[in-house]
Structure 1
């Protein structure tokens, strides 16, 4: 499980670069709209519900932290699933997660264009929307081909530009928090707990992105577990404070339609609304940068293991990046975003992610058992035997049962398409090996 960087990839991602990647994967467009949608069902309990859900979901993150501590190679979930359950399951896991990330990129690029259109009239309309999507997608594609360091720098910039306004919003809004808001005496009954929780989970997914880039991370077996745990806890606390400010500033009757832009307007007028709108744009930009950095590595890992044609395993001679995978990701995301055909895939992305999580969690016992003594000695070993992974598995299965049938249908179709690609490569590609 300990190896040299994959096919000449450079270990240019350090602790802070990895942290930026997790932050940008988790803090995207969702936090700017989720508070109101959750508050409709949970009311003043919303901040605490975010905290409780985050704490429970930490069991999933901790399980991934241990899994990441066994590997130095690029691939993350693909490696875990392949070692435990074989090539077909490993391919299916990587394929679904790649499609989910690509669809998410396409959806968020469209949302970014909509936010920019709301800021400037000249950017409103179909043609400006297409130009914005194209410039953002092609720009991030080119930045990531030039090198992983440029991708990390782009994420660092987006992280600063989106987190700073959010922290200012929290500081300005805390003065409106009262004792009755912080510790409400409201009933603990929450309307439609299942769908509300499933909605909130969207705020915490995306952390698995960092495991995919292990082959380009400095000392990944030490770095990744620390980054995962620290960043997810920090993000959960930030969500708690943001939602606490939201329910303290916005009237209950306005929860359904309000966003953080409305909180910014209430706290600082037009300037506040403008700042939060910009923060949303930068937040989405950071999420896009993280997706463009990580998702192509899933395809690269599949190609390295001969589960996709080796054409995808090409590494740029000068920049040491998986250039063809990045180009394919950028082109596919651009087509989906411009055509709007990504909608069903975006809806199904949560199911695909949860299925991937379940497979990875279930792989832990086999990976523990197969690890060498040297690897086990340096691994991030969870306390309590399998109690934490079992809790994580139960949470993911319960969440899957909250999903709609249309999501399952879309995932099944996409999985079938991927298996056809896999079968073709296994039938013809392996036969061509020298």
Structure 2
């Protein structure tokens, strides 16, 4: 696995890491999904946001502890490989790339859906596909030219999404109708459904809004002091997003009430109700900027995963070859080509649903790795989750329950990559890893002479 290779002056500091994390999480989900949760469980959708936050925080704590032990690119792949060996490590690493590809493609699809509301010609399939491919490769080019350009783009897109949402919360709180929150607890005869299957369905939908935090440690090698900064950044970003999502959901319910279930763009609709068309257009612009930001985040992180796998012999070495800008050019190109294919063949809802299922292939092994990594004496203990194994076990149990809420078809699509990963591992990666390990254990020429 490649270690810190970026020149010191070009590495991401804590502020840039925080913005990268916010960019990686806040995207189409919070702009487009509060209505879906409200349609399932009504006012109790606020609880869905909070329960989702509890799960994400528990997973984020696992990532924070694991990331504090390594300064390498790769995130979940690095942790799973160290804890469970090459096969599990490769499957998790391969799925980190799969999740990134699905996320990048899904967010481009969401971006085009948002743009369609102000530019109807995008509804034409040919125009849609050409634009999707152009956006994909534009982002790939940005990342090819390195961190300096990426830092500027990251900062601008983060601020561009936060300003409209912050203004929405600050202004919207004065237009809330508090009777829209009653009854908070539904009548007794409906409680079983609402806090059973309906709650699970809402949970599965809204959890998509939290995806992305796991990508922060992937670029650890491009960060200043990652073993210290990453745990702080992961926890801070997740807590911020959880609080922010709760406020946005409360304001949407307070302004729209039951009408929240009837709109496909809840934040824009709520703003339009109180500020008219100008407000609606302003939030629509913020939606577009927000989704563009998370597209960029996926485009930045996902090729790094492919390069990390190649560094360890699981993929051809050329995939990890650096360009003159110190970026993995071939990995960027390979990833962009797959994303372009997916975004022109699959819609947003399909890609989002499969993405949620695939994400748990990363989450569960990472949480399970914590007890095993703690036993390795050669790894530092820069950060340790409190309460022993309680939080990792909780994260695993809730993740399994969460995964079970997806439909059978979605689960099959989401987990089918495990078979593809196993084929790649046994056909190519296993042999290369054994050869690499053999070379690493072979005495060099100087040692042979001494012998």
> What TM-score, normalized to structure 2?
0.88
1:257 and 2:257 aligned: no
Q: 1:381 to 1:13 in 2, by over 3 A?
A: same
**Deviation at residue 343 of structure 1 after TM alignment:** 7.4
Structure number with greater Rg is 2
d(CA) in 2 for partners of 1:29 and 1:237? 17
Match of 1:385 in 2: 388
Match of 2:21 in 1: 22
CA RMSD after TM alignment: 2.4
Match of 1:351 in 2: 357
Instruction: For residues 90-143 of structure 1, give each alpha carbon's deviation from its aligned partner in whole angstroms, at most 9, with x where no partner exists.
Output: 110111221122122112212212222221345542343233212211111011
Aligned to 1:224, the other structure's residue is in SS state helix
Instruction: For residues 252-296 of structure 1, give each alpha carbon's deviation from its aligned partner in whole angstroms, at most 9, with x where no partner exists.
Output: 145243422211211211111111111111111011100011111
Match of 1:271 in 2: 278
Mapping of 1:309-348 within 5 angstroms? 309-316=316-323, 318-340=324-346, 346-348=352-354
Instruction: For residues 312-365 of structure 1, give each alpha carbon's deviation from its aligned partner in whole angstroms, at most 9, with x where no partner exists.
Output: 11011x211111111111111112212338976653221221121111111111
Q: 1:94 to 1:430 in 2, by over 3 A?
A: closer
Match of 1:289 in 2: 296
d(CA) in 2 for partners of 1:229 and 1:50? 17
Instruction: For residues 164-196 of structure 1, give each alpha carbon's deviation from its aligned partner in whole angstroms, at most 9, with x where no partner exists.
Output: 111111112101235555686533833511111
Match of 1:418 in 2: 421
**Aligned 8 A contact 2:263 2:269 in 1:** no
Deviates more, 1:383-392 or 1:72-81: 383-392
1:247 and 2:228 aligned: no
The gaps in structure 1 that reach 5 residues or longer are none
Mapping of 1:85-234 within 5 angstroms? 85-180=84-179, 185-187=184-186, 189=191, 190=194, 192-234=198-240
Match of 1:302 in 2: 309
**Aligned 8 A contact 1:11 1:215 in 2:** no
**Aligned 8 A contact 1:176 1:248 in 2:** yes
**Deviation at residue 7 of structure 1 after TM alignment:** 8.6
Aligned to 1:370, the other structure's residue is in SS state coil
Deviates more, 1:416-425 or 1:359-368: 416-425
Q: 1:252 to 1:383 in 2, by over 3 A?
A: same
Q: 1:321 to 1:387 in 2, by over 3 A?
A: same
Aligned to 1:381, the other structure's residue is in SS state coil
d(CA) in 1 for partners of 2:100 and 2:185? 38
Aligned to 2:210, the other structure's residue is in SS state coil
Instruction: For residues 19-60 of structure 1, give each alpha carbon's deviation from its aligned partner in whole angstroms, at most 9, with x where no partner exists.
Output: 122112211111112111111233223234312431343111
1:75 and 2:82 aligned: no
